[in-house]
Chain A
Amino acid sequence: MTTKRRNVFSQLYASILINAIYAMKNYPITLLNTLLAPLSILIVITLISKGTLLGVSIEGALMASMVASGMSIQGDLSHLKNDFKLQDMVVSSPTSSAVYMLGMAISEVIYSLPAFIVLTILAALFIHTTVTGYFILLTVIVLMFIFSISLGFIISTFSTDVMQNWAFSGILSTLLTTIPPIYYTITYIPLPFRYIAYISPTTYAAEIVQNAIGALPLSLTSLALDWAVVLGISLCLLFLAVKKSRWREV
């Protein structure tokens, strides 16, 4: 009878292999993929601002690639679930939904490593801030990753077709990384339109980071509100992802 100890590290490793390592090995083009979008926006913004927004747009690119990396879990999970029925096989196995999700989350980070490495080097070179500043940057970026990966996971468990996911991906990436002022400060947006930007959690996250690197002065109340929104929404979604995701279909 099977009462052996199950190796959780093996189970995490399985997701990392399937969704990152084997994929990167067989399709090296994917290495370029995660780097291209954030880097090109960064360059455009820097050129237009004649270099004044370099620090901010590096921060923006880091955040955008973190969010994109998290969001891509929904397309990947849906592909593996609906087209290969991998998730069905994993559901009827000792791997729990939390371990499956965590493994897939790590795999998304690994998949986006080329982008993170390049952007981190740029950040170290061109963002001049204190140790606390870097620490805030890191914390916010991790929170945004938790936010987007949880959102992606929840959506993927509800979707039945990858076509649906492409639509979700398009809409969400626009809402989260194109419309919100993350490559530049919100002060560039004329006032009535600023309210629209506040629909996206990434706006609040960007404000915190821009404040930390000295690009955006903020009142203490605004800063506290930003933290409350970023922390609240990330942790809420994480909770929902773990608790409410449909591991067993209904």
Chain B
Amino acid sequence: MAPPRKRTICMQMLRDQMPKELICKNLTKKYAGTPTALDHVSFTTSSSKGIFALIGRNGAGKTTLTRILATELAPSSGTASINGLDILDDTNELRERMAILPQESRAVAWLTPRQTIYSYLLYRGFDRAESAKRAKNMLERLGMSKYSDTLNRYLSGGLKRKTMIAAILSSDADILFVDEPTTGLDPLSRAELWDVLKEFKKDHFIFLTTHYLEEAEMLADKLCILEKGKTVAMGDIDMLRNKMGYQYSVSIFDKNAKVKPLVGKTVTGHNGKKQIFTTRDEANRLAKDLIEKEKKFSINPVSLDDIFFYLVKKPISEGDEEKGDDYDY
């Protein structure tokens, strides 16, 4: 039929002109018999390319949000769209363009890595020759050629995970959902995968969840902290620093040191050090003070770790109040 087809093409052209964005509006999910897993999550972020990292504690709702966006799970209420395609109404078009590595996905035991990637690519609709070629290339690229034809059940946990990652990356989907891709990888493999992801993010939109904050900080163009189903903070690392209100962290090795910042918040770090989050000027002043008192200390820009702990576990009291100030993390 001619008319609907024309309309589809028009819609397509319209979409191509729109800014590529991921828009969540009041996404809410309540599984039967449990507290709300996602609570009116709303945000907008560019989804033309780059990495969007979702971080948060166990049970914060990361996987739930990921699965809803990847059209696997229906939200209880709210809507979302990616590049102008609605997750509920334009499912087929979206599924053409997206691929997911589920958090708990495992390589099927009775397949080899080559067969795993090959069959996944067949599901993506590639013909057999193209699937075989892509599988071979990706195995080479991830340094796995040696294991291509070993049964998955004989591979180590990390290699199995890498096989699954290879499958996703070898598809031509330009929206990739990766739920904790690097869990279980050794430090070297993880670093290798980071390089691959950095390469991919140049022309893919990658929606990443991770518990490795240094990974999120290094890879992500935008970050979102989720806590108990709600977004606590969102933006690039500088925006998160601003949200926290402090740009610098002063760590004092002697936790009994009598130091009182004029501006800022004092906490006891998980390493037992006294840590002060503060502004640039105050960090300067404190540094002079600490040098005079001959105390050992270090100054760093506030890291994602600091922000995460600060926002997810609020300090009991403010550092510029009369008596300080400690909260442990």
Interfacial residues, chain A to chain B (CB-CB below 8 A): 1-8, 10-11, 13-14, 17-18, 22-23, 26-27, 80, 83-86, 88-96, 248-250
Chain B nearest CB from A89 CB (Å) reads: 6
A92 CB contact (under 8 Å) in B72, B128, B151, B172: B72
Q: Which residue of B lies closest to A99 (CB)?
A: B123
A26-B151, A94-B96, A94-B124 given; 8 more Cβ-contact pairs under 8 Å = A7-B127, A11-B125, A18-B108, A85-B102, A91-B72, A94-B123, A248-B91, A249-B74
A63 to B177, CA, bound (A): 44
Is B99 located at the chain interface by the 8 A CB criterion? yes
Can you offer 27 A-B residue contacts whose CB atoms are under 8 A?
A2-B172, A10-B126, A14-B120, A22-B110, A22-B119, A83-B106, A84-B107, A84-B108, A85-B102, A85-B104, A85-B105, A88-B70, A88-B72, A89-B99, A89-B101, A89-B102, A89-B120, A90-B123, A91-B72, A92-B71, A92-B72, A92-B99, A93-B95, A94-B124, A94-B125, A249-B72, A249-B73
Q: A6 to chain B: which residues have CB within 8 Å?
A: 96, 124-125
Number of residues on chain B facing chain A (CB within 8 A): 43
Contact of B100 among A7, A26, A27, A92 (CB under 8 A): A92
Separation of A86 and B115 alpha carbons in the complex (Å): 14
Q: Of A22, A86, A94, A248, which one neighbours B72 at CB under 8 angstroms?
A: A248
User: A52 to B306, alpha carbons, bound, how many Å?
Assistant: 82
- Residues 142-188 of B at the A interface (beta carbon under 8 Å): 151, 167-168, 171-174, 177
Are A93 and B99 in contact, CB atoms less than 8 angstroms apart? yes
Contact of B125 among A1, A4, A84, A91 (CB under 8 A): A4
Q: How far is the CA of A89 from the CA of B123 in the complex (A)?
A: 9
CB pair A2 B96 closer than 8 Å: yes
Q: Are A22 and B95 in contact (CB under 8 A)?
A: no
Report the separation of the CA atoms of residues A23 and B128 in the bound assembly, to the nearest whole angstrom.
19
